[in-house]
Amino acid sequence: MIPHIKDKADLDSKIAEAGGKLVVLDFNAVWCGPCKMIGPKLEELALENTDVVILKQVAASERQSATYIVNQVNAAIVLYRVSQIIAY
């Protein structure tokens, strides 16, 4: 199961723990249809790619999603390597 991020401190900690591994952060929301569709595929990818850290941040509101990077949540994904954003 993909770990769920609780808050910004939890995210920072998980990214630091990943070291040089690629980190895929999936932003999604309980009301987002596309988010629900991509979830099972990310679970599958997490099992197949142990050299990649996949994390999930579920927003209960758009305000909560603004705490991170995205302003609107609809299946947004951010990639990190060595604690730096490399793509989103």
Distance CA 60, CA 49 (A): 28
CA-only gyration radius of the chain, Å: 12
Report CA torsion sign: 71, 76, 80, 85.
Answer: negative
- Amino acid identity of residue 8, one-letter, is K
Which residue out of 15, 35, 42, 53 is catalytically annotated?
A: 35
Decide if 69 is catalytic.
Answer: no
Question: Which residue of the set 32, 54, 55, 59 is catalytic?
Answer: 32
Residue 25: other Cβ atoms inside 10 A: 23
58 is catalytic: no
The catalytic residue positions are 32, 35
